[in-house]
Amino acid sequence: MSVVTYTVKGMTCGHCVSSVKEGVTGVPGVTSVEVDLASGSLTVEGDGLVEEARVMAAVHEAGYEVAGRP
């Protein structure tokens, strides 16, 4: 099991959170996604190694940017 936290830029509302969560949930290997609007944090849990590039692509497709890891 792996847990990785990212910082997402551009989220301003609950719909933003839902879009990011829905997109990242679809990444292969992801088992849990938590998004915090106030801090901009995205926590991804997965079975084994989850490809970071796929997580970043899912966030980008939702219309937001991964600013890095806190």
DSSP character at residue 40: T
Per-residue model confidence (pLDDT) at position 70 = 64
In this predicted model, what pLDDT tens digit does every residue of 13-68 receive, in sequence order? 999 999 999 999 999 999 999 999 999 999 999 998 899 999 999 999 999 999 98
Q: Where are the domains of the chain?
A: 2-68
Q: Which residues have C-beta within 8 Å of that of residue 9, sequence separation ≥ 6?
A: 40, 64, 65, 66, 67
Predicted pLDDT of residue 36: 98
Tell me what pLDDT residue 56 has.
Answer: 97
CATH of 2-68, one of 3.90.190.10, 1.20.1630.10, 3.90.550.10, 3.30.70.100: 3.30.70.100
